[in-house]
A and B are shown apart, each in its own frame.
Chain A
């Protein structure tokens, strides 16, 4: 369990974090500049809070009243940075051994062979960091942190420099690490869509303050309606059950609570639950029921609310479930959108992103 109650002022930015989380997969989410990285630095001991306390389980890592400030070296926290920070003069093997060699034998939890296998590094051991791709670097950084036997992993936007495939692959390794090795994770990101399916708890940070905390699903509405996500790409996340496969046409039929969708064929057993994501910008709106379209998913609904951010408009639509669609102000005028108006949602099969089953 991580218990934070800390304050830090830098210039005219004030961070005040008061939160308590279970040893699970926790995502700290907020727009850039909200204090996420500062929070990680204060927890890890790379920066010092002005006042407050940091507890990891029963261990006091920092307490201004008790004058405790454990050095980062002794906090037993694994930190994976956005830019990997591999040591450029050491090979992959030497990088991952770095922390292990400094870890006293009784504290060691894993052998390097085990972790090399879990992180898929067998073929990379003799390479130098400069010869690795972004995804490979992050996996090396992950292995290096794990081998120093941390009690918790801190990740700061580890996917930022990776392309789509590398992201999915890294998340797959991270999930294995979390589940197989029973390592609690604090995952910082400005884009929640990648981890929401396996985050047990989400903390929403805005302008240095906690504005939301709880299981991810309970916070979706908040994330979508609050302007704090203005910088992030909004997503529609919902759970579906696989109904049937149509191998001849290369399609899979799935159903949510209220709607049915046709997706490109996916490998999942009939009856399996999946988490799907449709980016808010990939849904098309129509005021009358369209026909003769190539897109295969059309939902009927009604406008619930129109949220105007400084330069973007999000329309909330109730179509059995709630969907958020991003459009521009001109479209609102042209379609004369208003609360209560009947509307059709058009979703191409290729717009679905599958999140679970990673």
Chain B
């Protein structure tokens, strides 16, 4: 049993870190797309959404081209002494990239659902634009942020294709639950071990669904 703990722990670490990165960035991008008009908006929308429709392996390969040791950004990072590819942080980048569109989409829909007239009312009560964002828009869109967070966390936990390309499948370093299941299934007698990880996966997924239901009920009660 002890062999499965580090894998589970690493998976949670990667998924949680990716989610923590996504909450502010996804919320900001979702709000920008819902409320702001700017040239090239369609291009930005496309760039954010493309991992949703691309095979994750392709997304991973594109990330490797950018961030790998010989990649455009990877070379710059190397000069600073930072090596990203094939580390657990690379697994975070891969997971965050494929989960980002889910987060942005959920936040965007929720922000679009917030009546802009309430924001106008706040403007006439002297609220600054930042103040309106934090005191009106964000609290009224919180269910969308929550839904996006849970969805992103679950997606990050299950991430496989982009991770195996950008972070590789290194035991104890980048081997998350899905990668470990893949490895065990390729071993002659690995099926039993894989099954244990499958059960752990189901438990984690179920827990996040319960957490989501609990939190959304709690926020809904706050408005009545």
Interface centre among B117, B121, B127 (most CB of A within 10 A): B121
When C-beta atoms are compared, the residue in chain A nearest to B117 turns out to be A85
> When the two chains form their complex, are residues A102 and B117 in contact, meaning their CB atoms are under 8 A apart?
no
What is the CA–CA distance of A145 and B126 in the complex, to the nearest angstrom? 10
Chain A, range 254-310, C-beta contacts under 8 Å to B? none
> In this assembly, does B223 line the interface, its C-beta being within 8 Å of a C-beta of chain A?
yes
What is the CA–CA distance of A81 and B116 in the complex, to the nearest angstrom? 13
Given contacts A87-B136, A130-B224, A131-B224, contact A102 B121 (CB under 8 A): no
Given contacts A77-B124, A89-B140, contact A102 B131 (CB under 8 A): yes
What is the CA–CA distance of A45 and B140 in the complex, to the nearest angstrom? 24
> In this assembly, does A214 line the interface, its C-beta being within 8 Å of a C-beta of chain B?
no
Chain A, range 84-104, C-beta contacts under 8 Å to B? 85, 87-89, 98-99, 102-103
> When the two chains form their complex, are residues A130 and B223 in contact, meaning their CB atoms are under 8 A apart?
yes
What is the CA–CA distance of A45 and B120 in the complex, to the nearest angstrom? 10
> In this assembly, does B24 line the interface, its C-beta being within 8 Å of a C-beta of chain A?
no
Hey, which chain B residues are within 8 Å of A77, CB to CB? 124
When C-beta atoms are compared, the residue in chain B nearest to A89 turns out to be B139
Hey, which chain A residues are within 8 Å of B135, CB to CB? 98
Interface string of A102-137 (1 = CB under 8 A from B): 110000000000000000000000001011000000
> In this assembly, does B122 line the interface, its C-beta being within 8 Å of a C-beta of chain A?
yes
Could you tell me the distance in whole angstroms from the C-beta of A70 to the nearest C-beta in chain B? 12
- Cβ-neighbour of B127 out of A73, A79, A128 (below 8 A): A73
Hey, which chain B residues are within 8 Å of A88, CB to CB? 118, 140, 223
What is the CA–CA distance of A208 and B218 in the complex, to the nearest angstrom? 48
Interface string of B125-137 (1 = CB under 8 A from A): 1111001000110
What is the CA–CA distance of A75 and B123 in the complex, to the nearest angstrom? 10
Given contacts A88-B223, A128-B223, A130-B224, contact A79 B121 (CB under 8 A): yes
When C-beta atoms are compared, the residue in chain A nearest to B136 turns out to be A87
Could you tell me the distance in whole angstroms from the C-beta of B133 to the nearest C-beta in chain A? 14
Hey, which chain B residues are within 8 Å of A144, CB to CB? 125
> In this assembly, does A78 line the interface, its C-beta being within 8 Å of a C-beta of chain B?
yes
What is the CA–CA distance of A75 and B126 in the complex, to the nearest angstrom? 9
> When the two chains form their complex, are residues A128 and B224 in contact, meaning their CB atoms are under 8 A apart?
yes
> When the two chains form their complex, are residues A98 and B117 in contact, meaning their CB atoms are under 8 A apart?
no
What is the CA–CA distance of A212 and B224 in the complex, to the nearest angstrom? 46
Main SS of the interface on chain B?
helix
> When the two chains form their complex, are residues A89 and B126 in contact, meaning their CB atoms are under 8 A apart?
no
Could you tell me the distance in whole angstroms from the C-beta of B131 to the nearest C-beta in chain A? 7
Could you tell me the distance in whole angstroms from the C-beta of A74 to the nearest C-beta in chain B? 8
When C-beta atoms are compared, the residue in chain A nearest to B121 turns out to be A85
Given contacts A85-B121, A88-B140, contact A73 B222 (CB under 8 A): no
> When the two chains form their complex, are residues A85 and B125 in contact, meaning their CB atoms are under 8 A apart?
no
> In this assembly, does A46 line the interface, its C-beta being within 8 Å of a C-beta of chain B?
yes
- Cβ-neighbour of A73 out of B118, B123, B136 (below 8 A): B123
When C-beta atoms are compared, the residue in chain B nearest to A46 turns out to be B120
When C-beta atoms are compared, the residue in chain A nearest to B140 turns out to be A89
Hey, which chain A residues are within 8 Å of B223, CB to CB? 88-89, 128, 130
> When the two chains form their complex, are residues B127 and A102 in contact, meaning their CB atoms are under 8 A apart?
yes
Hey, which chain A residues are within 8 Å of B123, CB to CB? 45-46, 71-73
Hey, which chain A residues are within 8 Å of B118, CB to CB? 85, 87-88
Hey, which chain A residues are within 8 Å of B136, CB to CB? 87
> When the two chains form their complex, are residues B125 and A89 in contact, meaning their CB atoms are under 8 A apart?
no
What is the CA–CA distance of A306 and B135 in the complex, to the nearest angstrom? 57
> In this assembly, does A252 line the interface, its C-beta being within 8 Å of a C-beta of chain B?
no
Could you tell me the distance in whole angstroms from the C-beta of A253 to the nearest C-beta in chain B? 48
Could you tell me the distance in whole angstroms from the C-beta of A188 to the nearest C-beta in chain B? 15
Interface string of B143-181 (1 = CB under 8 A from A): 000000000000000000000000000000000000000
Interface string of A187-226 (1 = CB under 8 A from B): 0000000000000000000000000000000000000000
> In this assembly, does A324 line the interface, its C-beta being within 8 Å of a C-beta of chain B?
no
> In this assembly, does A240 line the interface, its C-beta being within 8 Å of a C-beta of chain B?
no
Interface string of A149-188 (1 = CB under 8 A from B): 0000000000000000000000000000000000000000
When C-beta atoms are compared, the residue in chain A nearest to B139 turns out to be A89
What is the CA–CA distance of A71 and B120 in the complex, to the nearest angstrom? 11
Could you tell me the distance in whole angstroms from the C-beta of A292 to the nearest C-beta in chain B? 56
Hey, which chain A residues are within 8 Å of B222, CB to CB? 89
Interface centre among A83, A89, A128 (most CB of B within 10 A): A89
Hey, which chain B residues are within 8 Å of A71, CB to CB? 123
Chain B, range 88-115, C-beta contacts under 8 Å to A? 115
> When the two chains form their complex, are residues A78 and B124 in contact, meaning their CB atoms are under 8 A apart?
yes
What is the CA–CA distance of A113 and B176 in the complex, to the nearest angstrom? 59
What is the CA–CA distance of A103 and B139 in the complex, to the nearest angstrom? 22
Closest 8 CB pairs of A and B: A99-B125, A85-B121, A102-B126, A72-B123, A79-B124, A89-B139, A148-B125, A73-B126
11 A-B pairs besides A46-B120, A98-B127, A131-B224 with CB distance below 8 A are: A75-B124, A77-B124, A79-B121, A79-B124, A83-B117, A85-B117, A85-B121, A89-B139, A89-B222, A98-B125, A148-B125
Q: Can you pick out 8 interface pairs between chain A and chain B where the beta carbons lie within 8 Å of each other? A: A73-B127, A81-B121, A87-B122, A102-B125, A102-B131, A103-B126, A131-B224, A145-B125
